[in-house]
Structure formats: C-alpha cells, structure tokens
Amino acid sequence: MFWLKTRIIEGEGSLKALSKEVRGYERVLILSSRSMKRHGFLSEAEDYVREAGAEVFSIAGLPAEPSVETIEELLPKLREEFQPDLLVALGGGSVIDTAKALKVFYDAPELNFEEIAFIDRFSKPKPVPKLKTKLIAIPSTSGAGSEVSAASVLKKGGIKYNIVTPDIAPDVAILDPRLPRTMPAEVARNSGLDVLVHGIEAYTTKVANPFSDAMAIRAIKTVYKWLPLSVKGDEDARARVHYAATMAGIAFLNARLGLAHAMSHKAAWIGPHGLLNAILIPYVMEFNAERSDYARKRYAEIARELGFQTAKDLIEVVRELNEMLGVPSLSELVDEETFMEKLDEIAEKAYRDGLVAFNPVEPKPEEIRELYLKAFYGE
Ligand SMILES: [Fe+2]
C-alpha cells in the first residue's frame, strides 16, 4: 500500500500560496524558527495571511529539540489566547514536529502524553482520535521529511518518544527553495545526508513497495549528484535537494526506516541527527548485506542506479561521499569515556526501537553494541 495525505505545492516563491491556503480561516498561528524570522520569511508569511483576511499570531524561536515541556508551556496560550483554526509550521523538522504535537493536544485535550507515545516496539500506545485543526508545513531545511510524515519525535526527560498517527501528517506542504538557501553549509550537509539515509533505509525495509521505491531512488540519485554542490551553496542544487528531502519523506512515510535510524535516535545526545545517520549507515549496510540476500540485492539495485554494480560498491560510494563532505567518526564527536559509559544502555534502547522491526535483518542487542563500537573507532 502507498499513501500520501499531504498536498504538495512547490516552486520558487511558492510561499505566497499561503495566502490562498488560509482563505476561509480566521485565526492563524505561525510557529517559526528564529532563523526564518531573521531572514524575513516569517514577516512575509504573516503578510500573506493578513492579505487573506485572517488574523495572524506568531511564536518565533522554539528550542532546537522539541520536548513535551515546550508543548506543555505553549498549550495554555493556544487554548486561551490564540485559539487558532489553522496552524502553520515555518522552519526545520523540529518546528514541524512541535506543531504536530501541539495539534494533537490542542484538538484532543483529554489525551495523556504517555498513553499515546511509542516508547518502544514492545509497548502498545493508545490510538490518537480524529484531529481537526488543519496544519500547513513549510520546511526551511532539506532533510527531516516531517512536512509529509505521520510522526512527531518529542523528548521527555532525555528520552525520545514518537507520536505516530496519520492525522498529524500535514495537510499541505509548501516547498519554496528560497528558504533552504538560508541554511549554513553544515546544516545543508547534515540534513542532506539524512535524506540519503532515508532513501537507502526506506528502499531496504521489509515493507518497501514499488511506489515507495520510486520516491526513494529518485531521492538517493538526487542527493548523490547534487549534495556536494548544495553544500557549497549552489542555488539550483539547494532546490533539487529540497524536493528530494520530501520525496525521501514520502518513501519512509510508507516504507519506514531501519537500524541506522534506530541507532541514531538513541545516540541523539552525541550530535546532529543527519550526521549520526551518515556515520552509522555504512556499518549498518555491511551488517545487513552480510546476513540478508534481500538486503544485498536491494543495495546492488541502488548501486546500479548510481552507475555501480554491487552492494559493496554502494557501501564504498557512501563512504567516499562522507569523506568528501568531511563527515567525522563518532570518536570525534564524543569522548571515549562518556561513550563507553552509555554504550550498553543505548544498544539496548536501539534494540527496542520500533524501526528495528522494519530493518531487513533483526539484530541482537550485542550486535548493535558492536556496530556502535565500529562506528566509534572508524573501523
Ligand atoms: Fe532521519
């Protein structure tokens, strides 16, 4: 099965489509990153909303990592002060994830966070009821895929929880390449590598299908060809990678993700999400390819799409891209003592992560531990 709830509007200057999208709504709340405010896109968006005759409220400068605490702080303002009938998220994946979570508790105040969150793959969260407030996502980075996905990742007390329900997938995504052109080179690199890993993992899960494959392959090819230029700031490359990020999001919305994401989520304290995935993926691919004919065959298919032959070639290609873009090893991001102290805990948590169920090979906790170690020492 393949599905996509989100209507996608793309193109240079497409932010102005907001004006048409908010018509008929009365109270619009824009959640914005600090960077989108600084670059003038928040005020541009506010103007489009006013043009359409709606009242506009804005919250700019949310914390980099969305947390339950942030949601709890914002909710009373939404309920008592803003009372929006439309939510707009303008920013990176974190801003969009925050808007999704706000929508859940704004629309269904009776819900309790712990009841609906996916803590791990052995827990059974309560289903989220039907939600009503419309959500428009306008991503400013090119990576997370949150503008089309049905998940919101939230932190509580240092642990990352996932809320997953089709109802939080945004109703509309506006992809205006002017926005991601404001990304610093490092953010462009890290988020772009996340897109590559989304493509590779979505293409090789147990539930991949020909339609998710099409999106995954196109995203992988685009990132492989254009990411180095995009990192350098090339305008056309930035646009291409921006669209590829959403394609990869559509792929993993359907095909889900695998072990690299399970491991990076649990090691989130070490560094940026996309960077961790880029570091981990060659080791995960080696692990999968050694144990599964299916994984080997699928990696070889990706390799051929890029002009190479085998699974081994693909792993080499990914390593070379990492090297070209200056991706460090884990040991450059965290000191040995801290890492070793936490290793058993994160290996166990990654083993229990929901995404492991979709990986082509089911790993044992000690095998995950081994993979973390390899990534740490850069073997
Ligand atoms: Fe990711």
Task: Please tell me the predicted confidence (pLDDT) of residue 156.
Answer: 79
| Span from the CA of 273 to the centroid of ligand 1 (angstroms) | 6
| Span from the CA of 313 to the centroid of ligand 1 (angstroms) | 23
Decide which of 159, 180, 201 is a domain's last residue.
Answer: 180
My answer on whether 168 and 274 are in the same domain is no
> What does the DSSP 8-state code read for residue 352?
H
| Span from the CA of 82 to the centroid of ligand 1 (angstroms) | 32
| Span from the CA of 333 to the centroid of ligand 1 (angstroms) | 18
| Span from the CA of 44 to the centroid of ligand 1 (angstroms) | 29
Please state, in angstroms and rounded to a whole number, the distance separating the CA atoms of residues 37 and 137.
Answer: 16
pLDDT of 112 over the 70 cut = yes
Instruction: Give me 345's structure tokens.
Output: 């805990």
Task: Please tell me the predicted confidence (pLDDT) of residue 158.
Answer: 64
| Span from the CA of 284 to the centroid of ligand 1 (angstroms) | 14
My answer on whether 18 and 151 are in the same domain is yes
Picking from 220-224, 235-239, 268-272, 364-368, which range would have the lowest pLDDT averaged per residue? 268-272
Task: Please tell me the predicted confidence (pLDDT) of residue 378.
Answer: 87
Task: Please tell me the predicted confidence (pLDDT) of residue 174.
Answer: 98
Q: Which residues contact 207 (CB under 8 A, 6 or more apart)?
A: 254, 255, 256, 358
Residue range of the domain that includes 191: 184-377
My answer on whether 11 and 125 are in the same domain is yes
| Span from the CA of 77 to the centroid of ligand 1 (angstroms) | 30
Enclosing H/E stretch for 102: helix 93-107
| Span from the CA of 127 to the centroid of ligand 1 (angstroms) | 24
17 located within any domain:
yes
pLDDT of 172 over the 70 cut = yes
My answer on whether 125 and 242 are in the same domain is no
My answer on whether 262 and 299 are in the same domain is yes
| Span from the CA of 276 to the centroid of ligand 1 (angstroms) | 9
My answer on whether 103 and 192 are in the same domain is no
CATH number for the domain spanning 147: value is 3.40.50.1970
* Mean residue pLDDT across the chain: 95
356 located within any domain:
yes
Q: List pLDDT tens digits, range 39-58.
A: 999 999 999 999 999 999 99
My answer on whether 164 and 211 are in the same domain is no
Task: Please tell me the predicted confidence (pLDDT) of residue 160.
Answer: 76
Instruction: Give me 347's structure tokens.
Output: 């290996």
1 located within any domain:
no
| Span from the CA of 55 to the centroid of ligand 1 (angstroms) | 34
202 located within any domain:
yes
My answer on whether 332 and 290 are in the same domain is yes
pLDDT of 114 over the 90 cut = no
Q: pLDDT band at 62, cuts 50/70/90?
A: confident
My answer on whether 145 and 203 are in the same domain is no
Please state, in angstroms and rounded to a whole number, the distance separating the CA atoms of residues 6 and 125.
Answer: 24
> 192-224 in b/e burial notation, b at 16+ Cβ within 10 A?
bbbbbbbbbbbbbbeebeebbbebbbbbbbbbb
Q: Which residues contact 249 (CB under 8 A, 6 or more apart)?
A: 144, 145, 146, 147, 148, 149, 198
Task: Please tell me the predicted confidence (pLDDT) of residue 379.
Answer: 78
Q: How many domains does the chain have?
A: 2
Give the pTM: 0.96
| Span from the CA of 268 to the centroid of ligand 1 (angstroms) | 11
Q: List pLDDT tens digits, range 281-306.
A: 999 999 999 999 999 999 999 999 99
Q: List pLDDT tens digits, range 226-267.
A: 999 999 999 999 999 999 999 999 999 999 999 999 999 899
Please state, in angstroms and rounded to a whole number, the distance separating the CA atoms of residues 315 and 366.
Answer: 23
Residue 138 pairs in a beta bridge with: 90
Q: List pLDDT tens digits, range 182-233.
A: 999 999 999 999 999 999 999 999 999 999 999 999 999 999 999 999 999 9
371 located within any domain:
yes
| Span from the CA of 264 to the centroid of ligand 1 (angstroms) | 8
